[in-house]
Amino acid sequence: MKIIPILIISFFAVSLLGVLTHFWHKWFKTGVVLHVLSAINESVWEHMKLSFYPMVLVMVLQVLLTQIYYPGFWGCAAIVVLTATFLVPLLYYPVRKILGREVPAVSISLYFVCILLAFIVEYYLVMSSFNAINDTLAWVLLLMTFIAFAYFTYFPPKLPIFKDSIYKKYGEFKQPFDKKSKRVHPLKKW
């Protein structure tokens, strides 16, 4: 199979998985694994998870299902995953500053832009048979990122990236739309 169709399928798979993991916490509400893997609030940090975990899964599937693997592929994969993950805040904050406020449609679109840009990076890395990062280092980088997501889900520092943009709180908390009330989540009004 050629690389372009693989990347297109991967883009849609990550996009779908990211959207689903955004709502897992709302749908299921409990479980340590669930909290670590899904966005527990509307902070930028929690939305970075929506890129990280689906990207890791899709990279594994690319190797298993398409035989893209070559020595150093996981170095390429780590760069792609971390590109998608860290582009979220790198694009979000300047765009929000330019707009002067949170615009949900723009923020949602930025997620897809981050994923698309990461797969463009993957295309160029795979086509050049990138091999500058060994597989062990790549897995260490991915594991360290996983540990950071797990830790900061439960112990977020008081920094803007960890602050819920809607409720102005840090970490997990009961949200009005989680209770059996008639209050509507602010994004549903939009």
CA 156 to chain centre: 17
pLDDT at 135 over 50: yes
pLDDT at 181: 40
Q: What's this model's pTM, rounded to 2 decimal places?
A: 0.85
Between CA 38 and CA 50 the distance in angstroms is 7
Neighbours of 101 (CB within 10 A): 7
CB 87 within 8 A of CB 111: no
Surface-to-core class of residue 124, CB atoms within 10 Å of its CB (0-12 exposed, 13-18 middle, 19+ buried): exposed
pLDDT band at 8 (very low <50, low <70, confident <90, very high): very high
pLDDT at 182: 47
Dihedral angle sign, alpha carbons of residues 103, 188, 164, 108:
negative
Surface-to-core class of residue 119, CB atoms within 10 Å of its CB (0-12 exposed, 13-18 middle, 19+ buried): buried
pLDDT at 130 over 80: yes
pLDDT band at 174 (very low <50, low <70, confident <90, very high): low
User: What average pLDDT does the segment 66-95 reach?
Assistant: 90
pLDDT at 100 over 70: yes
User: What is the total count of domains within the chain?
Assistant: 1
Site of tokens 């602050």: 163
pLDDT at 3: 87
Site of tokens 């920094």: 159
pLDDT at 65 over 90: no
Domain that holds residue 101: 3-189
pLDDT at 27: 74
Between CA 48 and CA 67 the distance in angstroms is 28
